[in-house]
Structure 1
């Protein structure tokens, strides 16, 4: 007996993954770094994380209710936005910073452009830049890990304009485990990497963009730093490079989907990050570089999209 062929429209290959499963995996991947942030920066860190996540969820529910849309708060995308924003602000920030930032990320950057999958830049990263420009003093009030909120400079601020590591800078080991000043999620590089490996294992994320991004920064800082390995490692493990490369540059909606496009996107992020760190007035360049490449993503996709089989070039 010959079975009939069923003809249907695309897509023809289905995946068991759903948006909620993918987003839940990202939440799980971020949990170690979040727990470390609360451990290092204590009660205020926990309050900021809770407020950022709750505000993001409530903002998404509220704007969708106002617009008579189906609520999507159970897909965990709003939770990720709030969590990423919290990890991108200093533990010394007042409570309203987390609330204003999360509301801006969800309402302005995400929902006003159509909701999940329609935003042209990473919402949490856009909110961080908005907060940094609007309240620079609040967003750069770094403190040391521990019970006492003692002001300190970030590792990147200590080496800004230098070609070698100063004597008062924290060790590379402390940066890897997270025992340094900085944004709550920028400190523990090893936990962010472990979370990224989990996402690769779960096939939620391709390692191409993070590896190329981080590799580009490593190579360029090695060259600009006079081929000093320790200086290069300092740039790789400090600041927002790990959280930016692993969790933000890989955003499905705001980064290219083509193979060549991902390479160009990651290279651009790495080059811009290094240039801003070395020659810009701001010691960190991850946020600005990813946002700029997010804006360029549609153009990158236009010129890297594969040719459709059977396509005929139209005559002028």
Structure 2
């Protein structure tokens, strides 16, 4: 067992995992309501399926590991909600359950549970589904009431890649288009993020560089910057995934580096890759560098030896 000698001051707070994760869940509720209005009852049902799967998987893993169950701390609920928000409302339940099980069992619990995972479980679950079951993400239901049958439509990024863009900025802001549950209504995502900032659950050190880098790179490439910021999973990723405690750097300087890296990869994927979106890949890729970023950006105590472990 290695003991890490850290410099004072040390302090205690009244914040708990349950309170922090509960605040995140509360911040996601406006977007869940918007998704229900936009895509019908399939949206909350999909979220509930993911939540139930996550709770069962985490509880069973704790039993297998002979430790007290952590299913009640709501961390697995946050993972389930975020994963569900990256899926279309017509995603088969078994696909959502498989992705959720992968997120909880393989990415989270196999590494020791909350605080020990090396990648964001929700992001990893999304990428797993994209790679293993791409057909499940090949179509997205259009907004209910927009047409007689709420037919399947293409996402704004997919349409832009084909040279077509029928949506206004207001449509993108309010989510009035085909897309994943939590990647369409940017307004409710912003409201949830502002709430988390207000209660000091998250900060903006990674979020703002993430968004700013996408804006700068796509702007220099001659793209519509406002469209790039309001479309795809950028808002969900920057507000709720790039702010994860475990898989992002600890220091402000490290978070800035992390955010810039995520933004750069996202922009490059959008500009040059065959896939229209790169938010999930960018966050997952930068997760791998978090230990290295922490190593070279954490503060050193006066008189201490750089990066020394005692």
Normalising TM by the smaller chain, what interval? over 0.9
Distance 1:234 1:146, change over 3 A: same
Q: How does 1:34-73 map to 2 (within 5 A)?
A: 34-73=32-71
Aligned length: 298
Give the equivalent residue in structure 2 for 1:258.
251
Per the TM alignment, residue 275 of structure 1 is displaced from its structure 2 partner at its CA by 0.2
1:269 is aligned to 2:262 = yes
Structure-1 separation of matches of 2:306 and 2:246: 29
Conserved? CA contact 2:300–2:306, under 8 Å: no
Per the TM alignment, residue 142 of structure 1 is displaced from its structure 2 partner at its CA by 1.2
Larger mean Cα displacement after TM superposition, 122-131 or 139-148: 139-148
SS at the partner of 1:138? helix
Conserved? CA contact 1:27–1:80, under 8 Å: yes
SS at the partner of 2:29? helix
Structure-2 separation of matches of 1:138 and 1:14: 45
Conserved? CA contact 1:160–1:278, under 8 Å: no
Structure-2 separation of matches of 1:291 and 1:129: 8
1:203 is aligned to 2:196 = no
Structure-1 separation of matches of 2:28 and 2:66: 32
Structure-2 separation of matches of 1:118 and 1:299: 16
5+ residue gaps in structure 2?
1-6
Structure-1 separation of matches of 2:47 and 2:293: 34
Match of 1:109 among 88, 96, 107: 107
Structure-2 separation of matches of 1:213 and 1:134: 27
Q: How does 1:207-226 map to 2 (within 5 A)?
A: 207-225=204-222
Q: How does 1:1-316 map to 2 (within 5 A)?
A: 12-146=10-144, 148-160=149-161, 166=164, 168-225=165-222, 231-312=224-305
Structure-1 separation of matches of 2:260 and 2:277: 17
Per the TM alignment, residue 247 of structure 1 is displaced from its structure 2 partner at its CA by 0.4
5+ residue gaps in structure 1?
1-8
Structure-2 separation of matches of 1:313 and 1:76: 37
Structure-1 separation of matches of 2:237 and 2:288: 16
Per the TM alignment, residue 308 of structure 1 is displaced from its structure 2 partner at its CA by 2.5
Structure-2 separation of matches of 1:257 and 1:304: 9
Per the TM alignment, residue 258 of structure 1 is displaced from its structure 2 partner at its CA by 1.5
For 1:147-191, what per-residue CA distance to the aligned partner results, in whole angstroms no more than 9, with x for missing partners? 6341211101111275xxx3x521110110111111110000010
Conserved? CA contact 1:23–1:77, under 8 Å: yes
Per the TM alignment, residue 79 of structure 1 is displaced from its structure 2 partner at its CA by 0.7
Larger mean Cα displacement after TM superposition, 94-103 or 25-34: 94-103
Distance 1:113 1:310, change over 3 A: same
Conserved? CA contact 2:266–2:277, under 8 Å: yes
